[in-house]
A and B are shown apart, each in its own frame.
Chain A
Amino acid sequence: MLELLQVSMHYDTVEVLRNISLQVERGEFAALIGPSGCGKSTLFKLIGGLLTPTAGEIWLEGKEITGKTGHVSYVPQQNTLFPWRTVESNAALALEVAGVSKQTALAKARAWLPRVGLGGYEKAYPDSLSGGMQQRVSFLRALLAPQELMCLDEPFGALDALTRSEMQQWLLDIWEEHRRTVLLVTHSIEEALLLADRVFVLSARPAQIIEEIIVPFPRPRNEKVIALPEFTALRQKIHSLLAATRTNVANNLTPNV
């Protein structure tokens, strides 16, 4: 279980996060959604231990991990595959970092590649792959990592709409099979509702959690849920929440004449 307790973050005088408290249960798929520039990536850097919060604590499986690295597996927003490593060697990287021997890590990656639709690409270099395939390798790298919690930072943000919806379905299938704890940051309402069990809605900067939504659709899911009336209703709800927080910011920015 991941738990954030009253986490706040300031950069110098800029307040980025205010009193963020949230819980993600073990085996749960949670999504964070918020307006762009609201500090979602900062939140990931805090959970990943790259930054230490100004105030508050972060706990994972009963251990405090505030400011400590190495406790999460991670799918970054940008392509961070190592260009000098082959696909299989990239997929094995997180295992290698965790201290697994090179042979074992490679064997595991090789066994998995066909299952994520990358059979035959073991010896290819990342620059010869399409964006969607690169993200699959990046995702497999995180999936093979020993850490239970996976942090996905807008993993499909850079993909075109068609590839994106393909990848969402693909992720849905893989996740429903393996049920790792996932925290997904996204700015797509549909993506959050389609994939997650629980959605946290963040306000504009300084980010606060303004709503926690339990997504009611049963598993296994597919993209057909998008057509359900409940889906439309939830999407509308989140949309107006986000629109409202944006207006508030706009009002705050209006100079007092």
Chain B
Amino acid sequence: MAVLLLLVVWELYVTAYQVEAWLLPAPTAIVREAINNWPRVQMHTLATLEIAIIGFVLGTVVGLLLAVVLHSIFPSLRQALYPLIILSQNIPIIALAPLLVVWFGFGVLPKVLIIALMCFFPVLIAALQGLDYPNAAMLDYLRMIGARRGQIFFLLELPNSLPHVFSGLKVAATYSMMGAVISEWLGAQRGLGVYMRLAAASFRTDRVFVSIFVIVVLSLLFFASIAYWERKLIRWNSRGEGN
């Protein structure tokens, strides 16, 4: 509703004051441009979507595996690895991306690595939170009746972490689209980042907005599909925590 209102105001403002199209195109003009130029937009969108999904999956898998390793297998590694993990999030992507291009070329790999680097962190932190802090009374109960370490992991810690993991996945999903566009912006042949850069360079503001619209819609769809799986998998009331 608010979005619709914004679009209407925007449209009215642009027509009323006759704003130049290279400054701010009207929403209808943007839609028209998207339809006219659809084959190109579609090609770039698919390219961005491809690396975003690969990067997201890679980052998620690494984040989850690392969480399990740091929680169950080598908890002693935590102190050593934590600074490195935080550090990985502090390196500016704009500095890192050219380096990755130097090392791995202009292909898909460096872009996927950037996205994965952005995605693994929220998943890792959320999963660790869920694994580390199960309900104390439930943990006592399991230990008292003689549950072994592995049983505690699969019966309590893992299911307990699931709602947390989904929070992490939602953050990672939004990061993945952003990461994809940024990495393409810094050097690629195809993708919305490239399209956007070319459009901006030739003052085709309408095309810049087309790519913004596409990115926003894709991010929302990505987020919504994760929320859908969350509702499907977590049927219990996770807020209640059993109380």
B-binding residues in A (CB < 8 A): 45, 48-50, 69-74, 76-84, 93-94, 96-98, 125-127, 145, 147
| A93 / chain B contacts, CB cutoff of 8 Å | 155
Q: Is the CB of B156 within 8 A of A82?
A: yes
Min CB distance A45 to B, Å, is 8
Given contacts A74-B141, A79-B242, A79-B243, 12 further A-B pairs with CB under 8 A are A49-B144, A69-B144, A72-B145, A74-B144, A76-B140, A78-B137, A80-B138, A80-B141, A82-B242, A83-B242, A97-B151, A147-B145
B159 close to A (CB within 8 Å) = yes
State in angstroms the CA–CA spacing of A96 and B141 once bound together: 14
Across the interface, A72 reaches (CB within 8 A) one of B144, B151, B238, B240, namely B144
On chain A, the residues within 8 Å of B214 by CB distance are none
Is there an interface contact between A84 and B140, defined as CB atoms closer than 8 Å? no
Assembled-state Cα–Cα distance A84/B158 (Å) = 11
Asked whether B236 lies within 8 Å of A50 as measured between CB atoms, the reply is no
What residues of A have a CB within 8 angstroms of the CB of B142 in the complex?
Answer: 97
Are A69 and B238 in touch, CB under 8 angstroms? no
Query: A50 to B140, Cβ gap below 8 A?
Result: yes
Q: How far is the CA of A81 from the CA of B144 in the complex (A)?
A: 15
Q: Does B146 lie within 8 Å of A98, measured CB to CB?
A: yes
Contact partner of B135 (CB less than 8 A), chosen from A72, A74, A80, A145, is A80
B144 touches A83 (CB 8 A): no
B243 touches A84 (CB 8 A): no
Q: Which residues of B contact A70 (CB under 8 A)?
A: 144-147
B145 touches A83 (CB 8 A): no
**A81–B241 Cα gap in the complex (Å)?**
10
Q: How large is the interface on B (under 10, 10 to 19, 20 to 34, 35 or more residues)?
A: 20 to 34
B162 within 8 A of A: yes
Nearest Cβ distance between residue B189 and chain A, in whole angstroms?
46
Flag if A84 contacts B159 (CB, 8 Å).
yes
Contact with A97, one of B140, B155, B159, B234 (Cβ below 8 angstroms) = B155
B145's partner among A77, A81, A97 (CB-CB below 8 A) is A97
Give chain B's interface residues, CB within 8 Å of chain A: 135, 137-138, 140-147, 151, 155-156, 159, 162, 234-238, 240-243
Q: Which 3 A-B pairs have the closest CB atoms?
A: A70-B146, A48-B144, A83-B236
Say whether A83 contacts B241, CB under 8 Å: yes
In the complex the two chains form, is A82's CB within 8 Å of B159's CB? yes
Q: Are B144 and A82 in contact (CB under 8 A)?
A: no
- Given the known inter-chain contacts A74-B145, A127-B242, A147-B145, please indicate yes or no for A84 contacting B236, CB distance below 8 A: yes
Nearest Cβ in chain A — how far from B138, in angstroms?
Answer: 5
Interface pair A126/B242, CB less than 8 Å apart: yes
CB-CB under 8 A from B156, the residues of chain A are 82
Q: Which chain B positions have C-beta within 8 A of A97?
A: 142, 145-147, 151, 155
Nearest residue, chain B, Cβ from A147: B145
Give the distance in Å from the alpha carbon of A50 to the alpha carbon of B144 in the complex. Answer: 6
18 CB-based A-B contacts, threshold 8 Å: A69-B143, A71-B146, A73-B145, A74-B141, A79-B242, A80-B137, A82-B155, A82-B242, A83-B236, A83-B237, A84-B159, A84-B234, A93-B155, A97-B142, A98-B145, A98-B146, A125-B236, A127-B237
Q: Which residues of A are found within 8 Å of B234, using beta-carbon distances? A: 84
Within the assembled complex, what's the spacing in Å between the Cα atoms of A127 and B155?
18
Q: Which residue of B lies closest to A73 (CB)?
A: B145
Which residue of B137, B145, B146, B162 has the most chain A CB atoms within 10 A of its CB atom?
B145
Give Cα A50 to B240, complex, Å.
26
> B141 — which chain A residues lie within 8 A by C-beta?
74, 76, 80
> When chains A and B are docked, how far (Å) is the Cα of A45 from the Cα of B143?
10
| Contact A127 B240, beta carbon cutoff 8 Å | yes
Instruction: Identify the closest chain A residue to B163 (Cβ).
Output: A84
Residues from chain B with Cβ under 8 Å of A72 in the complex:
144-145
* Chain A residue at minimal CB-CB distance from B240: A127
A255 vs B153: C-alpha distance when bound (angstroms): 50
Q: In the complex, what residues of B have CB within 8 A of residue A145's CB?
A: 145
Which of A71, A81, A96, A98 sits near B242, CB closer than 8 Å?
A: A81
